[in-house]
């Protein structure tokens, strides 16, 4: 007769068997007193494992957490509002410049010669700064994207 | 009457503070218990539990309901806890996790731990779980205390079913060894 190991008995006690396997195993246990005694011991051990207590956090845990959450939401909405204001200001500035240019070009009947001042810009430094800024923005964006995907994957 | 997770999550996603409060009320003990089993220290467990809840709230809109909310939440707790001990208490990771052959101890109902008072039993089990490595302590807690199914633990611990069963079996054996060792020391 095939020997039934304690591991198999544990799997039965933990409900890891399919219905068919469970019925077959229970039948074997019924017919064998030694097996039944081993299974009873395992059930008693299992009960012992299940009696450990749930732990209670500090009494102000929930209040503190909800306060932190509210603060985080407030700071996020403030940041969003600031960003919105910056975008609006840039848009307004561009609109004013563009309207002024259009108004100026329409208001003069004859083209006039405008002598713009010439000056040298440190193009190398500017392009380097733009490159660094672009790289940093890309890194920050990728980091955020990975973080977002990490939690999104939980639900998949 | 208990409100289902779906309804609570819906409330939270609509921005209702009550939704978040209900989630905390329902899961704070589970989250804290699991965090404590992983980091083995109440102060750190508070920090991990708070972090885990905040992450869950932040990414709640990405939860699609394809697994149980509890599994999703426990997965966040598990990864937050592991990250915490990697950075702040790496000594916990060095708790012996060797898969040595197990000698089944003489653990009969008529002797040892079973004869003890319930309170003593609880203390013995708590102390034994504290000695387990974080992954073993997590799987024992999820399966025996939170009564999660193997399929749910697979989601929480990012393992396939066969690895989960193997780990559960090893964790159980390790726990029995520790209980047996602690009990014989207690008797001396």
Residue B153 contacts by C-beta under 8 Å, 6 or more apart in sequence? B71, B139, B142, B143, B159, B164, B168
User: Is the model's pTM score more than 0.90?
Assistant: no
Q: What is the pLDDT of residues B122-144, one digit of tens each?
A: 788 888 998 999 999 999 999 99
Distance CA B34, CA B48 (A): 10
Least CB–CB distance from A154: residue in B20, B63, B126: B63
What region, left, alpha or beta, does residue B147 occupy, with left being phi > 0 and alpha being psi -120 to 50 degrees? left
Q: Which of A5, A15, A49, A48 is nearest to B150 (CA)?
A: A15
B130 touches chain A (CB under 8 A): no
Residues in chain A closer than 8 A to B106 (CB atoms): none
Lowest mean pLDDT among B19-23, B36-40, B65-69, B106-110: B106-110
- Tally of CB atoms within 10 A around A116: 5
Residues of B in contact with A152 (CB under 8 A): 59, 62
Q: CB distance from B33 to chain A under 8 Å? A: yes
Q: Is the CB of B109 less than 8 angstroms away from the CB of A44?
A: yes
Distance of CA B130 to the CA centre of its chain: 11
Q: Is the pLDDT of residue B64 over 90?
A: no
Residues B145/A79, Cβ–Cβ less than 8 Å: no
Task: Dump pLDDT digits (tens) for A14-60.
Answer: 888 888 989 999 999 999 999 999 999 899 888 888 777 788 899 99
Phi-psi category of residue B158: left, alpha or beta, with phi > 0 → left and psi -120 to 50 → alpha: left
Q: Give the A:B interface size as CB pairs under 8 Å.
A: 115
Alpha carbon of residue B32 to chain centroid:
9
- Nearest C-alpha of chain A: how many angstroms from B94? 24
Q: List CB contacts (< 8 A) between A53 and chain B.
A: 122, 126
Whether A75 has a pLDDT exceeding 80, the answer reads no
CB–CB of A49 and B125 under 8 A?
A: yes
CA closest to A56 among chain B residues: B29
pLDDT at B136: 95
Selection from A33, A31, A40, A30 nearest residue A6 by Cα: A40
Comparing B141 with A109, which gets the higher pLDDT?
A: B141
What was the ipTM of the complex prediction?
0.76
H or E stretch at A101 = helix A61-107
């Amino acid at each position: 007769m095939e020997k039934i190991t304690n591991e198999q008995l544990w799997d039965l006690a933990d409900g890891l068997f399919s219905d068919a396997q469970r019925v077959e195993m229970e039948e074997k246990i019924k017919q064998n007193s030694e097996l039944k005694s081993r299974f009873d011991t395992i059930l008693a051990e299992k009960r012992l494992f299940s009696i450990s207590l749930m732990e209670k956090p500090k009494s102000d845990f929930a209040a503190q957490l909800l306060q932190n959450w509210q603060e985080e939401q407030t700071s996020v909405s403030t940041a969003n509002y600031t960003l919105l204001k910056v975008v609006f200001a840039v848009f307004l500035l561009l609109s004013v410049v563009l309207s002024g240019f259009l108004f100026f070009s329409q208001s003069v009947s004859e083209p006039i010669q405008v002598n713009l001042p010439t000056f040298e810009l440190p193009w190398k430094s500017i392009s380097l700064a733009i490159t660094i800024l672009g790289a940093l923005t890309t890194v920050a964006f990728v980091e955020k994207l990975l973080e977002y995907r990490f939690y999104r994957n939980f639900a998949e | 009457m208990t409100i289902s997770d779906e309804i609570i999550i819906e409330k939270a996603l609509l921005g209702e503070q009550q939704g978040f409060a209900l989630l905390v009320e329902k899961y704070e003990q589970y989250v804290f218990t699991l965090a404590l089993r992983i980091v083995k220290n109440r102060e750190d467990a508070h920090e991990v539990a708070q972090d885990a809840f905040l992450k869950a709230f932040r990414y709640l809109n990405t939860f699609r309901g394809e697994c149980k909310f509890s599994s999703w939440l426990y997965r966040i707790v598990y990864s937050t806890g592991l990250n915490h001990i990697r950075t702040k208490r790496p000594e916990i990771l060095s708790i012996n996790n060797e898969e040595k052959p197990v000698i089944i101890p003489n653990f009969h109902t008529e002797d040892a731990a079973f004869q003890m008072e319930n309170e003593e039993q609880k203390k013995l089990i708590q102390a034994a779980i504290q000695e387990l490595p974080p992954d073993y302590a997590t799987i024992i807690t999820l399966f025996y205390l939170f009564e999660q199914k193997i399929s749910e633990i697979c989601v929480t611990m990012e393992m396939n079913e066969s690895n989960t069963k193997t780990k559960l079996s090893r964790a159980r054996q390790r726990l029995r060894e520790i209980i047996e060792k602690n009990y014989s020391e207690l008797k001396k």
